[in-house]
Structure 1
Amino acid sequence: MSAPVVELLAARGARDIAHPGGTLLAHLRRVHALLREWGARPAVRLAGLSHAYYGTDGFPTALGEVTRREELAGVAGEEAERLVYFYASCDRAFSYPRLAEDGGPFKDRFTGALLHPPLALRRDFAEITAANELDLARVNPDIRARHGRELLDLFTAWEVLLSGPAWRAVRLILP
């Protein structure tokens, strides 16, 4: 795990922010660990560790500003930061149903821009999303009970984007 990234997250209060998975920092560390377990490359693991840095469509609390992206890039690296921004920028209602489509559109919730991300980027996004949601489903039975079926449907639609280990985790954790 990248100590400088953890230090930045902690300095921005992630250790003290309540989250459905305990504290935000505990959740971020578990997402990183899942991605490592699945064999994700280092930039994807670091993006998973800091995926909530700019807030998300589902968790609006931000640790950093999208206008100061160089701060996260300086400790996580540019590729990981680009993945974090992409993850945070997702307009979920628009983008989730279309993510697995060939050339499917993706809407940036910060700018309103409509993008057509390449397959590799959509795969990275799907992998981080799966790690995020599966961590919550594992540690919070209420989330699994309330959202497990819809998450299973989503990840089933995204199966072509997920790695083998991520897909196996979906099948193991979700109903």
Structure 2
Amino acid sequence: MNAQAWDMLEAAGAAKIEHPGGTLAAHLGRTSDLLAAWGARPALVSAGLCHAFYGTDGFAVALLGLGRRDELVEAIGAEAEALVYFYASCDRGASYSQLADSEGVFVDRFTGTHLRPGLPARRDFAELTAANELDLATVSPDFHARHGSGLHALFARWRPLLSSAARAHCDNVLGAAPTGP
């Protein structure tokens, strides 16, 4: 695990911020651990640990302002920080339904920019999202009850973007994906 990133999380008070299943710090650690268990490359594992630094469309608390991105780059590297920004920037309502489509639009909620990310970026985003949401569905029965069926449908659409390990974990936590037409 990245000690510098953990120090930044501690300084930002992540261990004191309530989050489904405990604290934000605990959730971030579990998300990172899950990505590592799935065999994700180090940059994606680091992004999992830091994915909430700039807040998200689903969790408004930002631990670090966008004007301080260079500090996160120093802690986890440019590739991992770019993944964190991309994840945090997602306008979920505008982007989730189109993510599996190579011509789909991804909307940056910070800038309003409309992007058409390539397959590697869409795969990373889907993998990080799956790790994030599956952690919550695993540790919070209430979260699972409220969001499990929607996540099941979302990850079924994103199945081509997810690693085999992520797909298996989705099936285990949310139920097997539908097969056939």
Show the counterpart of 1:124: 124
Supply the distance in 1 between the matched residues of 2:131 and 2:162 (Cα, whole angstroms): 10
Identity %: 58
CA deviation vs aligned residue, 1:119-148 (integer Å, no higher than 9, x gap) = 000000000000000000000001101110
Which sections of structure 1, spanning at least 5 residues, go unmatched? none
Q: 1:12 and 1:143 mapped to 2: Cα distance?
A: 25
Instruction: Give the superposition deviation at 1:22.
Output: 0.8
Compute the TM-score of the two structures, normalised by the length of structure 1.
0.99
Task: Name the residue aligned to 2:36.
Answer: 36
Matching residue's letter, 1:171: D
CA distance in 1, matches of 2:84, 2:21: 19
- How do residues 84-103 of structure 1 correspond to structure 2 at under 5 angstroms? 84-103=84-103
Q: What SS does the corresponding residue of 1:15 show, helix, strand or coil? A: helix
Q: Secondary structure in 2 aligned to 1:63?
A: coil
CA-based RMSD: 0.6
- Give the length in aligned residue pairs: 175
Q: TM-score with structure 2 length normalisation?
A: 0.95
Partner of residue 59, structure 1: 59
The corresponding residue for 1:77 is 77
Corresponding position of 1:140: 140
- List structure 1 segments (4+ residues) > 4 angstroms apart after TM superposition: none
Contact 1:103/1:118, CA 8 A, preserved across alignment? no
Q: Separation in 1 of the partners of 2:70 and 2:83?
A: 13
- Note the C-alpha offset of 1:103: 2.7
Q: CA separation in 2, counterparts of 1:86 and 1:66?
A: 12
